[in-house]
Structure 1
Amino acid sequence: MKKVLFFTACCLCMAMGSFAQVPALERVEPMFWWVGMQNPNVQLIVHGNDIAARKVELNYPGVKLVAVHKVENPNYLFVDLRVSSGTTPGTFPIKFLKAGEKPLIYSYALKARDHSPNRAQGVTTKDLMYLIMPDRFANGDLANDSFNNMREQGIHLDSMFSRHGGDLQGIINHLDYLKDLGITSIWLTPAIENDEPHASYHGYAVTDHYKIDARYGTNALYKQFVDKCHAMGMKVVMDLVHNHAGTEGYTILDMPMKSWVHQWPQYTRSNFKYEAVMDPHASAIDRKLMLDGWFDHRMADMNQNNPYVQNFLTQNHIWWIEYAGVDGLRLDTYPYNDPAYMAKWALDVKAEFPKMTIFGEVLTPLPYTQAYFTQGNTINRGFDTHLPAITDGAVKDAIYEALNGHDGWDNGVTHLYTTIAQDFMYQDVTRNTIFLDNHDMSRALSMVGEDINKYKSAMAMLMTLRGVPQMYYGDEILMKNYSNPDGLVREDFPGGWNGDKNNKFTADGRNDKENDAFNYVRKLANYRKNTPVLHNGKMMQYLPEYGIYVYFRYDAKKTVMVVYNSNDKEVTTPTARYDERIKDVKTAKNVITGESLDLSKLTVGPKSTLVLELGDK
């Protein structure tokens, strides 16, 4: 394996010594742009055989050719344009001229921005996100399963590392299922092209930043998917990868300059240690390994100190938001990126899309580690990241400790209480994404030993705690497995493929246990969707006593009480201790069953949770 890794790194270095043979004008990116952006500047990356030997000319009212940059690789030009705010949308030729040769001409388009209110609207505490791996959800178009001009051929349903054929059309075909479940926002793992020779289905090794992977569909279909979601009252979160790119992408195979990616004498991985970024006593080499080391041998580490790389990434992300109208952005491997660039990136994106929701992947069991990366300099970092939110792995781990651990001074359900008690470290903790699992982690059902009471308790906490909840596809039908390897938690959704024995998108295709779980999740999700106090209400929690953990979500109009029994046996508990929030209310409605309960004392089953809406005084 080490020989293979070393060979990959060497190939990248050699690519700078013998420049690739490409068409005379292979591409211009961004392919088109818009009039009326807050930042009037756009930098085109032009790729073509010996394109640097040509002169650039254009003539269009309101568009100024500011500069043309030549770099180490003569197959590139970086062309700076300034588009005045009053420029009329339209097309104009960009000419690449060389004496004695026929001009190369690219017809460039400037479009009008779309200011429709349901575009780039943000994902908020009102939403419930549903995470889908497009390759593993449903195959809606058999014609795009494989392409002869792509490196990985065919679909192989019996291999966890191969393509399975799921696509955008498959997701579109099941939007009614998701809406019925109570989902209000869909997060897809990257649908951008990953033309790698092996295990490319996951989407995190991008080879063409401006193209939806053909095996999922087209750019136009992705936009249709977003539009369809908006028409149905749902939103879309786009998954972005700043830190690395697939080694088969054109900017890696034929790099503009050696400094496009982080170069090492031999293949060097990241040390994957957040502490190397956080530690005020850290060595320079540890910090460099964390930020500049490669994530994987097929994922070239982008050099975000390079201004050309910065423009390339930022403009690409702004392009996708404006083109497709996505509502939120999830930032992959956030701590591995250059902090200064990411802060600037966030400001640039928010300048164009003020309502855009952004949350970074920060996977840690420690609240202070998460808070370190969020905006506001709340824990004395001395630097504002301008990152509004993170994936709240600390709460995820604390929920499982509450469900599986034995209660003690710092253990069991008390650990969940103390984790929530540290919310003071965030500028606004309600922006954090809370979750039970995702595509990299063991599934929720397996994490609780397939105990249905624990599973339901986990779902109840997910739907009622502060933050923006996120589910992983199939959790609602009791899909299970441990992430060892991660392909085991990326199985196909049953019913998404022709020939599947059971169609679990329908009640008839699910067994009794699966329908019970589905109905429980649907009931909670739709209750949450229609109950504003669970979106914006304050939270009050009580120190656990005798294994009972109680918290409230409340506002001036409504109060929801959540009671979790962490004991292995049924417990009846008096409620006088909670009078500060119960006040004079005598009864409560069980949100799941609809029954009315006497609030003077409550009986809760083992490892079970009651979600109660307080009634009249």
Structure 2
Amino acid sequence: MNKVIVCFLTLILWGCAQKPEESTSAKAEQSIPVVLERVAPPNWWVGMKNQELQLMVKHPNIADYFPSVAYKGVSLLSFDKGDSPNYVFLNLKISAAALPGELLLRFKHGDGRVLESTYVLKSRNDEERSYRGFNTKDAIYLITPDRFANANPENDSLKTLREQGIDRENAYKRHGGDIEGIIRSLDYIQDMGFTAVWPSPLLTNDMKESSYHGYAITDYYQVDPRFGTLDTYKALSSALRKRGMKLIMDQVANHCGLNHWWMSDLPFRNWINNQENFEKHRSEWNGETVLLTNHRRTVNQDPYASKHDQLLNEEGWFVATMPDLNQRNPFLAKYLIQNSIWWVETLHLGGIRQDTYPYPNKDFMSQWAKAIMREYPNFSIVGEEWSYNPLLIAYWQSGAKNKDGYESNLPSTMDFAMQRTIVQALMEEEAWDKGLVKLYEGLANDFAYANPKAIMCFLDNHDMSRIHTQLKGSVAKTKMALSYLLVLPRIPQIYYGTEILMDDFDKPGDHGLIRSDFPGGWQGDKKNAFTGVGLSKQQKEMQLFVKKLLQYRKNSEAIAEGETVHFAPHDGVYVLFRIAKEELVMHVINKNTTAKELSLDRFKELNLEGRRFRNILTEEKGQWSTQLKVPANSSVILTTKLN
């Protein structure tokens, strides 16, 4: 009996002597391998210049767990919980010593449960680390993927998504174009002379209707399955690189789609702008409970702008179905920056086009561009600034000497000012110079730009009437516009179908009509722009016109890098030269209804007399003497490169 009592007391004393943590660990840990609901970014790379990485982890009640990381060269610096208990943000450092592999993420609960998940670190491809962006040597082909070519009818409609079916007769329904359709069309695109492809966003837009355009993103890391898969997207990029061409990704940092997965459980109380009002009325949402933007983009530069106007531009929703993201939240800011870098690295991109550039917080946009350009110094980013004032466009380009000291870090902006100038100049008929001074003075505005050659210029895009419509159906003026665009000191972008005179005459400006199907992109199409079957004589001539200009441009140092000299319009004729070493390109627009004899005396400073030339469009060769005859109502492009 005494031995029993002694043993019992010994056990009690031994138990009391144990440390609290050992006592807790005595509870058997339940290590549970799990697939976390979401981890973003879904993977990362070793060897990045910025060694810091923030992981957004979403999982039921994950904030109740204590995280840790086990991997050589990777350390967990800190972690932050969201306002929602279902989010935690892990701040990691991936040192230069870290190797590719799978690191272990552990989340330990107070009751002993441990959730374990792996996270992949990849190696980078040394041969492709330079990530050279688009530049003046490139010509960019803008595509609305849903309307370009349908190579895989099996992914046209998916039961898992809100918008069902396709209807090619309805301009606002999905039509079925996909990434594979673009891949199969690359022979045509390259043969035309384009060197870069810019598809409008290809990420998931799980919206109830009108989701074909891609600008209401509901998952920033998922390819819309109606367009294809991530592997298909990678295949497009790979196919372009093999051809020496580039892929430009259209991104949206200002807003997301109303059905984005996080809208049902927002990480923080200030994740989106006007969030309180949205959540208050979520159950009876009708789109009228949020403030819409005032579209006053000039508040970014205006020294007199009221705070009211500034905030409404930045915080107002673009439309009621596109929640406005609050980039002042540092976790969202990091999320968006890392998302962009993830896509650059994953797809080996040749550039980014950023939508609605003046609407987000402009300090964030500066940091966003800076982070990307720091990682990829030879990269290209173009921001959409829909303004017709060159001063506003110039403000956003890196290197601008802005009075407020703002540095955008943005290499390129979109030249809406030149787009409108070209249209106005070609439509003007009454002025003594037939409107051509508008072109002359429009180009003279280049003094305002830090780097005018890096600006992206265009004649039309997915948001405005086709150029053939804007020019009232004039084929001659459309040719003038295209030839001028392609010799300017700019990076040119051409919208799909412009080369075959696609139009929106039936309802000018209607977005659905502007984004009509490209003929031949669907099996059974009676017209086929890829082969020329069914195209009119004018359409074929325009296609060949564009092809000749683009093919010449690809190998023209004068157009890509040369000096620009132009002469004031005279008697309805405007002349512009591009010059580099022995190559000289002369572009002439004659808006008269009669041919003009152009005296070369005006151009003596360029030493033209006696030089041989070739007409790029007709292949005719000749020698400059004292006169040059220019046909009526046309543009002429001559070069000193004879072959």
Q: Same fold (TM over 0.5)?
A: yes
Q: Tell me the distance in 1 between the aligned counterparts of 2:118 and 2:423.
A: 56
Aligned to 1:369: 392
Aligned to 1:535: 560
Matched AA of 1:319: W
Q: Does 1:47 align with 2:58?
A: yes
Q: Secondary structure at the match of 1:82?
A: strand
User: Are the aligned partners of 2:141 and 2:194 in contact in 1 as well (CA < 8 Å)?
Assistant: yes
Q: Does 1:288 align with 2:315?
A: no
Q: Tell me the distance in 2 between the aligned counterparts of 1:329 and 1:27.
A: 25
User: Are the aligned partners of 1:277 and 1:290 in contact in 2 as well (CA < 8 Å)?
Assistant: no
Deviations 1:81-103 (A, max 9, x none): 11001211100221222244753
Q: Secondary structure at the match of 1:243?
A: coil
1:346-365 aligned at under 5 Å gives the runs 346-365=369-388
Q: Tell me the distance in 2 between the aligned counterparts of 1:479 and 1:323.
A: 34
Q: Tell me the distance in 2 between the aligned counterparts of 1:569 and 1:253.
A: 66
Aligned to 2:77: 66
Aligned to 2:416: 393
Aligned to 2:363: 340
Q: Tell me the distance in 2 between the aligned counterparts of 1:615 and 1:536.
A: 16
User: Are the aligned partners of 1:361 and 1:390 in contact in 2 as well (CA < 8 Å)?
Assistant: yes
Deviation at 1:218, TM superposition (A): 0.7
Deviation at 1:119, TM superposition (A): 6.4
Deviation at 1:572, TM superposition (A): 2.5
1:313-462 aligned at under 5 Å gives the runs 313-406=336-429, 408=431, 412-462=435-485
Q: Tell me the distance in 2 between the aligned counterparts of 1:180 and 1:267.
A: 48
Q: Does 1:478 align with 2:501?
A: yes
Q: Tell me the distance in 2 between the aligned counterparts of 1:550 and 1:59.
A: 67
1:257-272 aligned at under 5 Å gives the runs 257-263=268-274, 265=277, 266-272=289-295
Q: Does 1:553 align with 2:578?
A: yes
User: Are the aligned partners of 2:465 and 2:510 in contact in 1 as well (CA < 8 Å)?
Assistant: no
Matched AA of 1:325: H
Q: For structure 1, which runs of at least 5 residues remain unmatched after alignment?
A: 1-22
Matched AA of 2:503: K
Between stretches 583-592 and 154-163, larger displacement belongs to 583-592
Deviation at 1:479, TM superposition (A): 0.8
User: Are the aligned partners of 1:119 and 1:326 in contact in 2 as well (CA < 8 Å)?
Assistant: no
Q: Secondary structure at the match of 1:341?
A: helix
Aligned to 1:611: 637
Q: Tell me the distance in 1 between the aligned counterparts of 2:608 and 2:639.
A: 14
1:411 and 1:61, CA in 2 relative to 1: closer, same or farther beyond 3 A? farther
Deviations 1:122-142 (A, max 9, x none): 101110000001111001111
Q: Secondary structure at the match of 2:567?
A: strand
Q: Secondary structure at the match of 1:104?
A: strand
Aligned to 2:16: none
Q: Secondary structure at the match of 1:510?
A: coil
User: Are the aligned partners of 2:199 and 2:249 in contact in 1 as well (CA < 8 Å)?
Assistant: yes
Q: Tell me the distance in 2 between the aligned counterparts of 1:306 and 1:287.
A: 18
Q: Does 1:310 align with 2:336?
A: no
1:379 and 1:541, CA in 2 relative to 1: closer, same or farther beyond 3 A? farther
Q: Tell me the distance in 2 between the aligned counterparts of 1:370 and 1:185.
A: 23
Between stretches 592-601 and 366-375, larger displacement belongs to 592-601
Between stretches 83-92 and 368-377, larger displacement belongs to 368-377
Matched AA of 1:274: R
Deviation at 1:513, TM superposition (A): 1.4
Q: Tell me the distance in 2 between the aligned counterparts of 1:118 and 1:236.
A: 15
Matched AA of 1:496: G
Task: State the percentage of identical aligned residues.
Answer: 38
User: Are the aligned partners of 2:130 and 2:376 in contact in 1 as well (CA < 8 Å)?
Assistant: no
Q: Secondary structure at the match of 2:270?
A: helix
CA RMSD of aligned residues (A): 1.8
Aligned to 1:4: none
Match of 1:564 among 582, 589, 605: 589
Matched residue count: 594
Q: Tell me the distance in 2 between the aligned counterparts of 1:204 and 1:411.
A: 39
Q: Tell me the distance in 2 between the aligned counterparts of 1:54 and 1:586.
A: 79
User: Are the aligned partners of 1:371 and 1:378 in contact in 2 as well (CA < 8 Å)?
Assistant: no
Match of 1:512 among 537, 555, 573: 537
Matched AA of 1:79: L
Q: Does 1:122 align with 2:133?
A: yes
Match of 2:528 among 493, 499, 503: 503
Aligned to 2:177: 166
User: Are the aligned partners of 1:401 and 1:413 in contact in 2 as well (CA < 8 Å)?
Assistant: no
Matched AA of 2:63: A
Deviations 1:149-181 (A, max 9, x none): 111111111111111110000000110000110
Q: Tell me the distance in 2 between the aligned counterparts of 1:128 and 1:114.
A: 26
Q: Secondary structure at the match of 1:260?
A: coil
Aligned to 1:12: none
Match of 2:262 among 235, 251, 255: 251
User: Are the aligned partners of 1:43 and 1:78 in contact in 2 as well (CA < 8 Å)?
Assistant: yes
Between stretches 602-611 and 445-454, larger displacement belongs to 602-611
Matched AA of 2:636: L
Deviation at 1:375, TM superposition (A): 1.6
Q: Tell me the distance in 1 between the aligned counterparts of 2:519 and 2:532.
A: 12
Aligned to 2:87: 76
Q: Tell me the distance in 2 between the aligned counterparts of 1:133 and 1:491.
A: 9
Matched AA of 2:225: A
Deviations 1:376-414 (A, max 9, x none): 233534211111111111111111122111364898211
1:274 and 1:411, CA in 2 relative to 1: closer, same or farther beyond 3 A? farther
Aligned to 2:492: 469
Q: Secondary structure at the match of 1:116?
A: helix
Q: Tell me the distance in 2 between the aligned counterparts of 1:409 and 1:256.
A: 62
Match of 2:243 among 226, 229, 232: 232
> TM-score by structure 1 length?
0.93
Q: Secondary structure at the match of 1:106?
A: strand
1:76-115 aligned at under 5 Å gives the runs 76-100=87-111, 102-115=113-126
Q: Tell me the distance in 2 between the aligned counterparts of 1:118 and 1:347.
A: 17
Q: Tell me the distance in 1 between the aligned counterparts of 2:62 and 2:412.
A: 42
Q: Secondary structure at the match of 1:103?
A: strand
Q: Secondary structure at the match of 2:236?
A: helix
Q: Tell me the distance in 2 between the aligned counterparts of 1:410 and 1:597.
A: 28
Q: Tell me the distance in 1 between the aligned counterparts of 2:437 and 2:229.
A: 49
Between stretches 271-280 and 556-565, larger displacement belongs to 271-280
User: Are the aligned partners of 1:163 and 1:201 in contact in 2 as well (CA < 8 Å)?
Assistant: yes
Deviations 1:259-299 (A, max 9, x none): 10111643111111222222101111011111111101111
Aligned to 2:149: 138
Deviation at 1:597, TM superposition (A): 4.0
Q: Does 1:208 align with 2:219?
A: yes
Aligned to 2:598: 573
Deviations 1:169-223 (A, max 9, x none): 0000110000110010000101111111111111111111011111111111111
Q: Tell me the distance in 2 between the aligned counterparts of 1:32 and 1:161.
A: 35
Q: Tell me the distance in 2 between the aligned counterparts of 1:582 and 1:275.
A: 45
Match of 1:57 among 68, 82, 97: 68
Matched AA of 1:608: S
Aligned to 1:522: 547
Aligned to 2:3: none
Matched AA of 1:441: M
User: Are the aligned partners of 1:496 and 1:503 in contact in 2 as well (CA < 8 Å)?
Assistant: yes
Q: Tell me the distance in 2 between the aligned counterparts of 1:505 and 1:397.
A: 30
